[in-house]
Amino acid sequence: MPKKQKVPDALAELRRRAELDTLKRKAKNTVPRTEIDSQRLLHELEVHQIELEMQNAELRLARDEAESVRGKYTDLYDSAPVGYFTLSPDDRIRMANLTGATLIGIERSRLLGKFFSMQVSPDMRGNFTRILKQVFDDGAEQSMDLRLLSKDLPEKVVTLYFKRTPDGSECNVAVVDISTRKRDEEALRVSEIRYRRLFETAHDGVLILDPGTRKITDANPFMTTLLGYSHGQLVGKELFEIGLLRDQAKSREMFKRVKTQQEVRYENLPLKNQSGQQQEVEVVANLYLENDRSVIQCNIRDITARKHAEDTLSRSEALFFALIEQVPVGVYVVDAKLRLQQANPLALKFFNNIHPLIGRNFSEIIHLLWPKRNADIAIARFLHTFETGESYQSTGITKQRLDNGVREVFEWQIQRVILPSGELALVCFFNNITERIKAESAQRRLDLMAASNIRLKREIVHRLAVEKKLNETEYVRSRLLEHSLQQQAELRSMSHKILHAQEDERKRISRELHDVIAQTLVGINVHVAALAQETTSEPGSLQQRIANTHQLVERSVEIVHQFARELRPTVLDDVGLIPALQAFLKGFMETTGIRVSLKISPAIEESSESIRTTFYRIIQEALMNVVKHAKANKVEISIQRLADGTSLEITDDGQGFEVEEIIHANKSNRLGMLGMRERAEMVGGMFSVDSAPGKPTTIRVTIKTEPKTAKKSPSKKSVKRPSVKIK
């Protein structure tokens, strides 16, 4: 039904004004002249009312149509497959449809008022802002591709279309999601690269031809190498022009067949390259569509080598069968169906009673020669070798033949081989060794007699060797006994030295206790007795005696402490090696007047207690030896922490000595060096002495690694002693 035509707004406005003017003129006559005039006025008012009602109906109809159009616009706007955004000049989103909100992944009500550029990938925001400003400045439509951030969704690749509104206050942006297209384009690009790579690296010649013009449009590198032409020389030529087909008629015939059959194959086509060399090729031509365009692809394979291989195979077959004929043992060939295919002259002689022979089932042949049980075993051997490829060899098979009743001895071997034709087959080698077995039997008897003679001679030689060995063993035993007695004597001498050293040390401690501590204690006793008899009438004298007694007590305590330090300095356990050495060296220099310099690494305190104690005792013993024997004025001590252990070096400027004499001396007063060496070896160290008469003496101790059992007693677990270096 057609819609009612609307009254134009301008015409309705003029009509309204005219009617109002008429009413004003009529209203000037306050009293109607006649009844007719009143009726006329009433009629005009009724007409005017009807016209107003008609205009009101038209306005309502126009409003409904506008609402309908607006609803349709809203539906189209929200359900459009493209995102729409309305942006302000400062990049804020004023309007957005549902598709746009879905692309960004934010609810539309929360999206309004946000900056659109914040939804753009950071590396593209600058370009987006520049284009938006340019659209607001000059009003020209713009477009760009960028990556759009999407909440909780992967990035999307989109195309933006910018268009400024006529009043220039807003910019409408259409957003088209091209992620799928970009992925398809990338997949197509990768596919094209893969195809081109296969095309370029193929080991067959490939030509692409136009079915309409029959001319070459592309060729791969292998084809240019095969023909000797460059790529430019091949493109634009027909097949017969490059020597592939004999003439133009053959080329047209091939194209006609390809268009009809979609595929054409040629075997053994001659091909002459640019240098004139003749080759044989195999050609396969296929017709297919490429981007809605028909193309022909020719795959050309050089079969010259294959032809040569076939000729070689033919010659190999002839050579194979010729070799079988000339083998000096019986040889026959059985195929996969267990049929006898070939036999050399010696094998034919063996099968001379079997007719027919060649082509006959080998199971029947065997059963005609041997008893059934033996024949079945032989056939099973043949089948097993054919199935698994395991060769079988049998020696000394003695059987009585059924065809001639003769007992013969054979050795035979079965092998699976590949014939020159490529087929699997079984080859059996056999040899009649009856005469050889008889000769070998006689030879074995001779060999047994000779072997017995040789064994007797060897027994005599062996007994002489055993007798000589017994004599040598007796000599070694006596030497070992002598060495054992010598070591026992050395051990007894060492025990005597240790006992003498212990007794000397006890004498020294006893003498010190008697001469020093005992006298001091007696003095204390005398002073105490005097104090007991002293009267209180002389307080000054009493105080002096108490002070003297106190000094004697302090001296006794100091002497006891000195003995304790000599036996085991407590500072070594309480503070560490460095303070203990400093205290000891200070007292040593004050007592002896010998200058001692100490160079020590602080890391030495990280070593185990056994190593620190060993270094202290070796330094103590070495300095005592310097005082007793060296006549030195200066001693240098160096303790360094190495990457793989610790080293100690003591050097004095004394008169030196003969190291060998001191180390191996049997005197009871030479235990210093031996004690230092034993202490070093107890912690897995190496001890060495470098000295000579009139030269300085240097003692070195090197501990490569700290043993895990350093804290255990040597009696519980033996310690491996490295060799002592004596320079």
Starting at the edge strand found earlier in the chain, the sheet holding 142-150 runs: 93-96, 83-87, 171-177, 153-164, 142-150
Write out the E strands in 128-277: 142-150, 153-164, 171-177, 205-209, 216-219, 263-272
Average pLDDT, the chain: 78
pLDDT in tens, 600-609: 988 888 888 8
| pLDDT tier for residue 631 given thresholds of 50, 70 and 90 | confident
pLDDT in tens, 279-321: 788 888 888 887 778 888 888 888 877 777 777 777 776 777 7
Measured CA to CA, the distance from residue 330 to residue 681 in angstroms comes to 78
Per the structure block, which two tokens stand in for 10? 């301008």
CB of 596 closer than 8 Å to CB of 589: yes
Token look-up 């149509």 returns 65
pLDDT in tens, 226-244: 888 888 888 888 877 777 7
Q: Establish whether domains 202-302 and 569-726 are of one fold.
A: no
Query: Which of 60-69, 178-187, 261-270, 565-574 is predicted least confidently?
Result: 565-574
End-to-end CA distance of the chain: 131
**Mode of pairing for the β-strands spanning 142-150 and 153-164:** antiparallel
CATH class of 569-726: alpha beta
Measured CA to CA, the distance from residue 235 to residue 208 in angstroms comes to 9
Residue 349 has pLDDT above 90, yes or no: no
Between residues 62 and 124, which one has the greater pLDDT? 124
Residue 143 has pLDDT above 50, yes or no: yes
pLDDT score at 507: 65
Which of the following CATH numbers is that of domain 309-432: 3.30.450.20, 3.20.20.140, 3.40.30.10, 3.40.50.150?
3.30.450.20
| pLDDT tier for residue 700 given thresholds of 50, 70 and 90 | very high
Query: Which of 20-34, 44-58, 136-150 is predicted least confidently?
Result: 20-34
Residue 528 has pLDDT above 80, yes or no: no
CB of 140 closer than 8 Å to CB of 163: no
User: Across the strands, what pairs with 156?
Assistant: 148
Please provide the CATH number assigned to the domain covering 202-302: 3.30.450.20
Measured CA to CA, the distance from residue 185 to residue 501 in angstroms comes to 99
Residue 519 has pLDDT above 80, yes or no: no
pLDDT score at 2: 39
The sign one gets for the Cα dihedral 138, 142, 146, 152 is positive
pLDDT in tens, 390-424: 888 876 666 777 777 777 777 888 888 887 777 88
Q: Compute φ and ψ for 411, nearest 5 degrees.
A: -120, 135
Domain assignments of the chain as residue spans, ordered by start: 9-76, 80-184, 202-302, 309-432, 569-726
Please provide the CATH number assigned to the domain covering 80-184: 3.30.450.20
